[in-house]
Chains A and B, each alone.
Chain A
Amino acid sequence: MRQVRAIYVAYLVVILVGVVYCTALGLLGR
Chain B
Amino acid sequence: MRRFFSQNSLSLAFGALFLATLVAQALSGLADFNDQRVTDGLQQISLLRYVTSATFGVDVMENWQSEYLQFFLYIFGTVWLIQLGSSESKKPGETGTETDKEQKVGNYALNDSPAWVHAGGWRTSLYSRSLGLLMGALFLLTWAASSVSGWAAFNSEQLMNHEDPITWLGYLGQGDFWSRTFQNWQSEMLAVGSMAIFSVYLRQRGSPESKPVGAPHATTGQTG
Q: Enumerate chain A interface residues (CB-CB to B < 8 A).
A: 3-4, 7, 10-11, 14-16, 18-19, 21-23, 25-30
Chain B contacts for A7, CB-based, 8 A: 8, 11-12, 15
Q: Is B152 within 8 A of A29, CB to CB? A: yes
Q: Is A29 within 8 A of B155, CB to CB? A: yes
A-B contact count (CB 8 A): 73
Interface range on chain B: under 10, 10 to 19, 20 to 34, or 35 or more?
A: 20 to 34
CB contact between A26 and one of B12, B15, B64, B150 (< 8 Å): that residue:
B150
- Mostly helix, strand, loop or mixed at chain B's interface? helix
Q: Besides the contacts A3-B8, A18-B64, A19-B64, what 18 more A-B pairs have beta carbons closer than 8 Å? A: A4-B7, A7-B8, A7-B15, A18-B60, A18-B142, A19-B142, A21-B57, A22-B54, A22-B57, A22-B58, A23-B144, A23-B148, A25-B52, A25-B152, A26-B147, A26-B148, A26-B152, A30-B57
CB contact under 8 A between A3 and B149, given known A25-B52, A25-B56: no
In the complex the two chains form, what is the Cα distance from A19 to B52 in whole Å?
13
Chain B contacts for A28, CB-based, 8 A: 152
Chain B contacts for A11, CB-based, 8 A: 11, 15
In the complex the two chains form, what is the Cα distance from A10 to B148 in whole Å?
25
A-B contact list, 25 entries, CB within 8 Å: A4-B7, A7-B12, A7-B15, A15-B142, A18-B60, A18-B61, A18-B64, A18-B145, A19-B61, A23-B148, A25-B53, A25-B54, A25-B149, A25-B152, A26-B147, A26-B148, A26-B149, A26-B150, A26-B152, A27-B152, A28-B152, A29-B152, A30-B53, A30-B54, A30-B57
In the complex the two chains form, what is the Cα distance from A15 to B151 in whole Å?
21
B122 contacts A by Cβ under 8 Å:
no
Q: Is B54 within 8 A of A29, CB to CB? A: yes
